[in-house]
Each structure stands twice: as C-alpha cells, then as structure tokens.
Amino acid sequence: MSEQVTPEIKTISILGGTGKEGKGLAYRWAKAGYRIVIGSRQAEKAKVAADSIRELFDQPMSVEGKTNPEAAQEGDLIVMTVPFSAHTAMLEGIKPYVQGKIFVDVSVPLVPPKVTKVQMPQAGSAAQEAQKILGEDVFVVAAFQNISYENLLKDEDVDCDILVCGTGKANRQVVLSLVKDAGLIGWDAGVIENSVVVEGLTSILIGLNKQYGVEASGIRITGIERPE
C-alpha cells in the first residue's frame, strides 16, 4: 500500500463508476493502494467493471463491484461520476448512506445536444445541487470535472491540473491529497460556490476538443510554483 494514502480514507466508493471517468479514477486510486468499491444500479454491471480494472494490473488489487447503496455505505469517502441527467435521482437514492462523509461530485451539468454551451442548474452548479439535496451533514466537494478519462487511464504524467472547490478547507485538503495520490496536481479553488466556474469550463474544453480535433484538452495554473 502506498505511503501516501490518507490514514482516515481507506475505502473509496465510486458511484456510477462503471463509466469511463469512474474507471479512470478507480485505476489511479487502486494503483495508489486504496480499496475501491465500484457502484452501479446493477451489481453485476459493477462487478464486470471491477474485473476490468483489476485486469489492468499484474498483481491483485482490492477493487469490488456492488450496488450504489451498498457502495455508498462502505466508502470512507464517496465519489460520484454520473451523467447530469441521473444526478438528482442518484443523490436522492443514496442520501441516507453518505451522511457525515466527504462527497466528491464529479458531475457536470451538460445538456445535450448543446454540450459546448454552459448551462448551469437552478442551484448554481451540480455541486451546489448535491449539497442542497444531501444536506449540511454531507461535505460536498467538486473536483475532476476538467480532466479527460483518456488521461486517467494512462500511466504517463498528465499535463492537466485539478481545481478543487467545496465545503470546508479541511475537506478540500483531504480531496487534494487524493488528487496527489492519483498522480495529479491539484489546487484549492475555494468555496463550493466557485464550482460554477469549474463545472462550466468543461463545456468550453469540449468545444476546444471539437474545434482543434483533440480528445483531452485541459487547464493548467501558471504563476504559482508547482508542487514536486
């Protein structure tokens, strides 16, 4: 197990983790030594996704697949990677199981077919919507909206920074430690209200990908000394 693992966080549950972004994060954190629980509406689908992640390693890794409620119950920290169309229903379904936990919302309010247009929900952002639904005893942090899964599933250094917004500086620091453990560089981008900017950037990056014929444009913070 990696020495970098945050002592309080041993198990990371990734709800809706059968998608590409969820698998990419699962791969990175499993490699760092965390126990990973992939959540899905269907347990069998989650188990297939867990198997596919374990197959990426040449040694046994602790990656399991369960239903979303089961995964939410088991996680020390919860990560949710679902399309925005499923955002509200997912939050309402797992609310009882995430109380008192840090909840990392990776969702972006994309509204097809105009996914290159920034379209924020009434709450202000997906993260703010999550906080409203889950309640004040859940510590919602927004992160990983601006990095492509293509980068996550590669072992090379990633030239893309992670902005972390959320409720409470201490909670953001926990998530920043997970960013580091994933082999990425993260920055404390402040309070949860700032997530409107971070989430909105995703539509801009999708537009840049289309305009310039690339798959994984990202952002990088300049003017600050980069961590080693």
- pLDDT at position 223: 96
Q: How confident is the model at residue 53 (pLDDT cuts 50, 70, 90)?
A: very high
Q: Which domain holds residue 79?
A: 11-212
Show the tokens assigned to 4.
């970098």
For the stretch 72-94, pLDDT in tens is 999 999 999 999 999 999 999 99
What stretches of the chain show up as alpha helix (H) in DSSP? Answer: 20-31, 43-54, 68-74, 87-94, 126-134, 149-152, 169-181, 195-212
The answer to whether residue 4 is domain-embedded is no
The answer to whether residue 227 is domain-embedded is no
For the stretch 83-127, pLDDT in tens is 999 999 999 999 999 999 999 999 999 999 999 999 999 999 999
CA-CA distance, 92 to 94, in Å (whole number)?
6
The answer to whether residue 154 is domain-embedded is yes
The answer to whether residue 149 is domain-embedded is yes
> How many other CB atoms are there within 10 angstroms of residue 219's CB atom?
16
CATH code of the domain covering residue 93: 3.40.50.720
The answer to whether residue 224 is domain-embedded is no
For the stretch 1-41, pLDDT in tens is 223 334 489 999 999 999 999 999 999 999 999 999 999 99
Contact 195, 203 (CB under 8 A): no
For the stretch 129-163, pLDDT in tens is 999 999 999 999 999 999 988 888 878 788 899 99
The answer to whether residue 87 is domain-embedded is yes
- pLDDT at position 149: 84
The answer to whether residue 182 is domain-embedded is yes
3-state helix, strand, coil in the chain (%, to 5): 40, 15, 45
Average pLDDT, the chain: 93
The answer to whether residue 5 is domain-embedded is no
Number of domains making up the chain: 1
Q: Can you say whether the dihedral through the CA atoms of 22, 27, 30, 31 is positive or negative?
A: negative
Q: Could you tell me whether strands 35-40 and 139-142 are parallel, antiparallel, or unpaired per DSSP bridges? A: unpaired
